[in-house]
Structure 1
Amino acid sequence: MNVVRLVLVDDDPLVRAGLRMILGGADDIDVVGEATDGRDAIDVIVRERPDVVLMDIRMPRMDGLVATRQLRDRGSSARIVVLTTFDTDELVFTALREGAVGFLLKDTRPADIVAAVRRVALGEPMLSPSVTSRLIAVATRREDGSRQRTAHAMLARLTDREREVATAVAEGLSNAEIAESLHLGLATVKTHVGSVFAKLEVTNRVQVARCVHDAEPVSGSWNRAPTRDTT
């Protein structure tokens, strides 16, 4: 059994204690380090080389946003999931752009937190469909129509099958779930996902989701066109 090495970063000791209790009880997760701010987090993560990091955003000395950027600049392979309370953490958008692979609400159910860490460790994003919709709604209200037009133009590059795959990615489905939903082989799904990444000029599934949702105000039916590409 592969054990997931995990680092917890939060300035609230009660939050860290709660997460440690929840995650430490899983046989396949090992909490190898903790930090109280972004500056300490960088030292711990460089030293411990964890697979996954749960990173708070708002912290003293150095926040999670700066820490995430600096870790990426250093070439860290740790998969960073930002912790947020949603209503007050607007910096989560920038954290995702800086390379975080997803986000996790602090009031998420314990079983779902454990499942999220496992999923991220396997290379999947942490995208909760309901929370994604709320985050995208906030982001969209702040941006003018140019983002929607740009996203729509990018999505026009995709084949009909690739659009279906992109929509499924935006809904938070894993490759295996997409394969089952679209009745495709897993290898075929991986090929389509790679093609979507290349055509949309993105590097992670969060960015695909943003592009899909950004395009919807311009053309809410773009992803419902008849499927011609059946590969």
Structure 2
Amino acid sequence: PASDSVSNNMFENDSDAETDDIFLTDIGGQSIAPSNGTEPVTVSLPSGAILTVDPDNGDFTLDPNGSFDSLGHNESATVTFEYTISDGNGGTDSAIVTLTLTGDNEPPVAIDDSERTPQDETVSDSVIPNDTDPEGDALVVQTVEGSEGNVGNVTELPSGALVTVDATGEYTYDPNGVFDSLRTGETATETFVYTVTDGNLGTAEATVTIVIDGKDDPPVAEDDEVLPSPASDPVSNNMFE
């Protein structure tokens, strides 16, 4: 993967006709002195990757150093560097190391959302605009409240309120009369969970929080009808009935 270090040995297939010991004298245009068994040498390559090498035995580790994190799923890039070896008797030769780094899929990042609505009004918004993907992959909603089957369909929340979230992230929340008893100044909080996917097996989950504001509802007066009674008789009833 493009974010992982790679270790190998550049002398593995190198040889000397007289079986002299070989050692590194140059790498990537940078002269290297024999380490005599001491510290490895670190070289910064043009790509931004960092190469750590033992000049005496050819062991090396390439650290991508974040330079290839933008590679998408199954995308690849090559890193090359030239090195020169010596046999200590005036003989030198050069070769090229080529490393292929393959992009690994970074999961998306889903950010929690919030909205507010009066107790008797629906509210609509989208959950995706503040969600991101490191490779820029398009995100779609994969699950709502833990179920793929809820995507695009009306889902009843534990409170009895209703929410519909489609694959593009657009959602509508309907209090569904559940919070009609709230008075002005009172609030209730509702949440639902969704998961987005980048289409390359990367997923992320976030929570949408809805704050419901209460309000005093006006009284409802209904017309009354009193059954006929003799004109001389008093009539009793209750107008609030």
TM range (shorter): under 0.3
More helix by share: 1
- Which structure is larger by alpha-carbon Rg, 1 or 2? 2
